[in-house]
Amino acid sequence: MTSILILNGPNLNLLGTRQPDVYGTTTLSDIEQMCQTAAKALGVTLAFHQENSEGAMVDHIHAARDTHDGIILNAGAYTHTSIALMDAISSVELPVIELHLSNTLAREEFRHKSYISPVALGVICGFGAAGYEHSLRAMVQHLEACS
């Protein structure tokens, strides 16, 4: 069965209470529930993780090479700083969808730079929590088209 990893970066564990005007009031646990329901309907297996540290995220990406078919990555602030995450993605050669709740291109200039975009299949941003389900559908469609 097709298996997808959704990996969340720093501070996303605080969703629901963190800057709700920017990120909404849905918690990460609500999002996980929503994604698990969507994955079931799409007939895929889903692993869902959140890490605050960059190294732990790199470890998840490495491990995904043998266990998952694609990665949906909301790298949080590491999006704008992490060459390590970019290199990890290039190393595992799995399709990656870059995801953001907010429209990062409509925010501060330092959020316009992404180290993930150049190595990603595509980017979904600005749709709030619903973006997770959109990303899941996009990944499943991509993997089906490749098989």
The active-site residue, picked from 78, 100, 115, 132, is 100
Query: Least distance from C-beta 147 to ligand DQA, angstroms?
Result: 29
Q: Which of residues 95-114 bind ligand DQA (CB under 6 A)?
A: 100-102, 104, 111
Any catalytic annotation for residue 23?
yes
Q: How far is the CB of 117 from ligand DQA (least distance, A)?
A: 12
CB of 56 to ligand DQA, least distance (A): 16
CA distances from 62 to 42, 88, 89 (A): 25, 7, 8
Binding status of residue 120 toward ligand DQA by CB under 6 A: no
Q: How far is the CB of 25 from ligand DQA (least distance, A)?
A: 14
Q: Retrieve residue 4's tokens.
A: 């997808």
Is residue 77 at the binding interface for ligand DQA, with CB under 6 A as the rule?
yes
Is-contact 139 4, C-beta < 8 A? yes
Helices 83-92 and 54-67, packing angle to 10 deg: 10
Q: Catalytic: 132?
A: no
Task: Please check whether residue 47 is in contact with residue 6, taking contact to mean a CB–CB distance below 8 angstroms.
Answer: yes
Instruction: Answer for the pair 55, 82: CB distance below 8 angstroms, yes or no.
Output: no
Q: Is 14 in the site for ligand DQA (CB under 6 A)?
A: no
- Per CB under 6 A, 134 contacts ligand DQA: no
Q: How far apart are CA 107 and CA 122, in angstroms?
A: 19
Asked if residues 127 and 74 have their Cβ atoms less than 8 Å apart, the reply is: no
Residue type, 35: C
- Residue 73 binds ligand DQA, judged by CB under 6 A: no
Residues making contact with ligand DQA (CB under 6 A): 11, 74, 76-77, 79, 100-102, 104, 111
Q: So which residues are the catalytic ones?
A: 23, 100
